[in-house]
Structure 1
Amino acid sequence: MTLRTRLAIFVAVAVAIAIAGASYLSYTVARTQVRGEVDDALRDRGITLGPISDIQGRYGRGAGQGAAADPDDDFIRDDAIVQFLTPEGIIQLGRAAVVLPVADQDVAVLSGTTTSVLRDITVDDIHYRMLTRAVAPGIALQVARDLSEADAVLAGMRLRLLLFGGFGVALAAAAGWWVARRSMRPVAALTLAAEHVAETHELDAAIPVDRTDEIGRLATAFNDMLGALEEARASQRRLVADASHELRTPLTSLRTNVELLTRKGGVPVEERPALLADVSTELNELTHIVEELVDLSTLGREQEAPVSMDLADVVDRVVARSGRRGDVSIVADVEPTPLEGPPTAIARAVSNLVDNAVKWGAGGGTIEVTLQDRTLTVRDHGPGIDPDDIPHVFERFYRSPRARSMPGSGLGLSIVAAIVADLGGSVFAGAADGGGAAVGFTLPPQGTRAELS
């Protein structure tokens, strides 16, 4: 069953319940009102029948079962049946062809136990409403009125309520189906687009958005998802293409050296150590590139839980470790910087910045690391960054002309940029005052964004 059909059925059922409730209430009120008018008429008729002494004088007591009054008496009217109950029997007025039944409730009125009773009776398949009330000690009055006309009115009302109610439910179902069809049209388009993407793997199935309600937001989110998927696919393709290009050079060099080592006649003994050193260097370079490719491809999908930390402690540990590895002096000036995020990724970002500065600042003075106002800056005193290279330093595999003769994969700063972006921050790079380069990142204020998970 489709969603639009379920919505139409839901609307129809809701309207049916509302109509049924309203119809029941209307019918109950009308029935109560009609019955109330009949009951009031019976009470009024019982009161206007005159003093009981007139009845006793005219008809006497103990006239016997079924005794009738004079046909021309003023008591006789066509709108009701009137009779009196006495211990001796029933006194009927006029040409009454109907003898009203006497039940225990009526006997209770005659005996004085109850003053009056109203009840429905059926005589010769005709529905009556009957009042029995005491009019004097040992005498009770019974007045009955035919309810055939009132029952016919109420039956007609029931039929009309049923017909109009059924028509209203059918109309509501049709309107609900039509509204659901129009409302679900963007969802149908969304479904077709999703099926198209699943079948063809093409991500150019964006749907037009011309509304701002929940359906419009869903369509916008779907288009954004397609855009993100397309960007991820393009990024993956660029990564594969760049990796293939970067791996080709060391692989070619490695293959050449291996072929030299294994060619017939061998390699002169004095050249072998140099070739083996080249092979080792190329293997290390390949290993480094592969490791950074793995880090870059899995970044953001690792399951490392975020923890609360102080970025200053991370910087101090990285600076101490880097200082022990090389002959470059590294000084740090940091302030407490609370942060929540994956500790390994954050340490990797800081380490890559410091390693980049060590590579370019070797032999050129002290590396300065500062952490102020949630901004980490790593400065070296090397040759600096060419202005033309600044827009590209955080791109994957980008290496400036001066860097192509130096070790490295061109992925270190791109990994920094990816980690900082996941934390909601931004990276920067530029020439430092007095020479060298300043590279770093700025984190957003604490608590303004959920950190990388």
Structure 2
Amino acid sequence: MLRTRIGLVVLASVLLAIAVPVTAAYRGVSTLVSDQLDRSLRDRAETVLAALDLGRLPPARPDTVEQLLPADGTARPLAPGGGPALPVSERALEVARTGQGSHQEDATVDGTPYGVLTQARPDGQGAVMVGQTYAGVTEVDDAFLRRITVTSVAAAAACALLSWLVLGHILRPVRRLARAAEHITTTRDLATPLPAAGRDEVGGLTRAFESMVGALRRSREQQQRLVQDASHELRTPLTSVRGCAELLQRARGRLAPEDEEQILATLVTETVALDELVRELVELATDQQSAEEPEPLDLPAAAEDSARRFRRRTGREIAVITEGPVPVLARPRALQRCVDNLVGNAVKFSPDGTLVQVRVTGTRLAVRDRGPGIAAGDRQAVFGRFYRAAGTQSTPGSGLGLAIVHDLVVADGGTVFAAAAPGGGAEVGFRLPPAPGG
């Protein structure tokens, strides 16, 4: 669960953030207390030595024990009933024998920890041993450790609770989006409303998901419309083929040769039309060029290649005119298909013996025909699937050529256009984005 994982990460971060300063503070306090104890021991030893020089006993303290340590090592209390005897170590004996320096160590007397300082006497007659109990310090240290532990645990618990509540609020839109996605997956209903998108990252995710669902919805609508249009377009040639076939089947050789020849010619014509229609439907539906990667291409080269093939195929005069061409960024096969479709349309609608012109200007390619032209109200519609303008219903073709041009050019970031040509005819073409550095 995302909420739990993030909560654990937050809790671990908080614990680390608390542990570092707490450990540093504890060590700092321990060092400060230790230094204070050392200073207290030295001060007490100086007080004891000063009192002995004056021939007096120092004022008694309940937390300290003092004893004299002659050079022979026979320690004795400084005052009768002055507390437990402090253990004498070899280092302490050395200070007493030499009458120089000092030595500090820790010792345990009757189960109580002591800090013991052995300080040489100024007259060289042995040393003075001063012990100070650590019992109070240990209690303070334990109390500090308990309090800081309780405080840290309480802070971590409060932070964990707060992060759990905040994460629940933050992730609520994600859960709503997930439920909507599950509903769409189960019902296939791309019209399912999505939760409102905020201005944060979750809102950005919601908007991106909404865009994706919208694209899927439009794609499904286009597929459904394509199927409906295709079924409508296929019905006419299929009906013609079926009628011719049924007539031949009923006649059984009783038809006149010229009638039979006409029926067979109709069958061939309609079969060719069906083949062309199915091929273009597959091309439009699958977009076989989609696997290509855009690359810098030369528009005049594509225009010359297409013109050369159509000249050889149709015997028509096709001229290519270039004016400051600029390399474009497009997919090679897709670009060639677009140019071929435009040139093929121009050849189809231009009367025999008329010139077809392909003009390349910068990143713009336009093909001019000498046909009936395109009415102003049809100049956008001609790029729709299966659209046939008035006066072209009897012209061979599926009405998909310009639709394919539109889809391929738009996929490469370009635009299409159709306009009336000066002196009659139509000018149809596209613009593509320039190649980098072009």
What is the TM-score normalised by the length of structure 1?
Answer: 0.90
Deviates more, 1:399-408 or 1:298-307: 298-307
Deviation at 1:270, TM superposition (A): 2.1
The partner residue of 2:297 within 309, 322, 339 is 309
Task: Please say if 1:327 is aligned against 2:312.
Answer: no
Task: Please say if 1:91 is aligned against 2:76.
Answer: yes
In 2, Cα distance between the equivalents of 1:132 and 1:372?
104
Cα separation, partners in 2 of 1:411 and 1:359, compared to 1, 3 Å: same
In 2, Cα distance between the equivalents of 1:168 and 1:53?
54
In 2, Cα distance between the equivalents of 1:73 and 1:90?
17
In 2, Cα distance between the equivalents of 1:112 and 1:328?
127
Identify the residue that residue 273 of structure 1 maps to in structure 2: 261
* Conserved? CA contact 1:206–1:226, under 8 Å: no
In 1, Cα distance between the equivalents of 2:31 and 2:40?
14
* Conserved? CA contact 2:176–2:195, under 8 Å: no
State the secondary structure of the residue aligned to 2:192: coil
Identify the residue that residue 241 of structure 2 maps to in structure 1: 254
Deviates more, 1:188-197 or 1:105-114: 105-114
Identify the residue that residue 431 of structure 1 maps to in structure 2: 420
Question: Aligned AA for 2:286?
Answer: T
Identify the residue that residue 12 of structure 2 maps to in structure 1: 13
Count of equivalent residues: 432
Cα separation, partners in 2 of 1:113 and 1:218, compared to 1, 3 Å: farther
Task: Please say if 1:125 is aligned against 2:124.
Answer: no
- 1:44-443 mapped onto 2 (5 Å cutoff): 44-50=43-49, 54=53, 73-74=57-58, 76-88=60-72, 89-94=74-79, 95-110=81-96, 115-136=101-122, 137=124, 139-266=126-253, 267-299=255-287, 302-334=290-322, 335-363=324-352, 365-443=354-432
Deviates more, 1:200-209 or 1:290-299: 200-209
- 1:269-325 CA-to-partner distances (Å, cap 9, x unmatched) read 221111111111111111101111111111277323444332221111111111111
Cα separation, partners in 2 of 1:394 and 1:149, compared to 1, 3 Å: same
In 2, Cα distance between the equivalents of 1:314 and 1:17?
66
In 2, Cα distance between the equivalents of 1:345 and 1:98?
103
Identify the residue that residue 451 of structure 1 maps to in structure 2: none
Deviation at 1:208, TM superposition (A): 3.2
Deviation at 1:337, TM superposition (A): 2.8
Question: Aligned AA for 2:203?
Answer: G
Question: Aligned AA for 2:119?
Answer: R
State the secondary structure of the residue aligned to 1:405: coil
Deviates more, 1:434-443 or 1:84-93: 84-93
In 1, Cα distance between the equivalents of 2:147 and 2:309?
91
In 2, Cα distance between the equivalents of 1:86 and 1:105?
14
In 2, Cα distance between the equivalents of 1:429 and 1:245?
26
* Conserved? CA contact 2:330–2:432, under 8 Å: no
In 1, Cα distance between the equivalents of 2:104 and 2:423?
112
* Conserved? CA contact 2:329–2:434, under 8 Å: no
Unaligned runs of 5+ in 1: 59-71, 449-453
* Conserved? CA contact 1:135–1:141, under 8 Å: yes
Deviates more, 1:264-273 or 1:176-185: 264-273
* Conserved? CA contact 1:75–1:93, under 8 Å: no
* Conserved? CA contact 1:384–1:435, under 8 Å: yes
In 2, Cα distance between the equivalents of 1:212 and 1:114?
78
Task: Please say if 1:23 is aligned against 2:9.
Answer: no
In 1, Cα distance between the equivalents of 2:49 and 2:109?
27
- 1:240-271 CA-to-partner distances (Å, cap 9, x unmatched) read 10111111110110111111122144332221
In 1, Cα distance between the equivalents of 2:94 and 2:270?
119
State the secondary structure of the residue aligned to 1:302: helix
What is the TM-score normalised by the length of structure 2?
Answer: 0.93
- 1:172-209 CA-to-partner distances (Å, cap 9, x unmatched) read 11111111111111110111011001100001223233
* Conserved? CA contact 1:52–1:135, under 8 Å: no
In 2, Cα distance between the equivalents of 1:257 and 1:404?
21
Question: Aligned AA for 2:239?
Answer: T
Question: Aligned AA for 1:242?
Answer: D
State the secondary structure of the residue aligned to 1:403: coil
* Conserved? CA contact 1:206–1:223, under 8 Å: no
The percentage of counterpart residues that share the same residue type is 39
* Conserved? CA contact 2:119–2:128, under 8 Å: yes
In 2, Cα distance between the equivalents of 1:319 and 1:114?
115
- 1:222-252 CA-to-partner distances (Å, cap 9, x unmatched) read 1111111100000000011011111111011
Cα separation, partners in 2 of 1:115 and 1:5, compared to 1, 3 Å: same
Question: Aligned AA for 1:91?
Answer: R
In 1, Cα distance between the equivalents of 2:262 and 2:97?
136
Deviation at 1:110, TM superposition (A): 4.0
* Conserved? CA contact 1:328–1:362, under 8 Å: no
Identify the residue that residue 61 of structure 1 maps to in structure 2: none
Unaligned runs of 5+ in 2: none
Cα separation, partners in 2 of 1:412 and 1:359, compared to 1, 3 Å: same
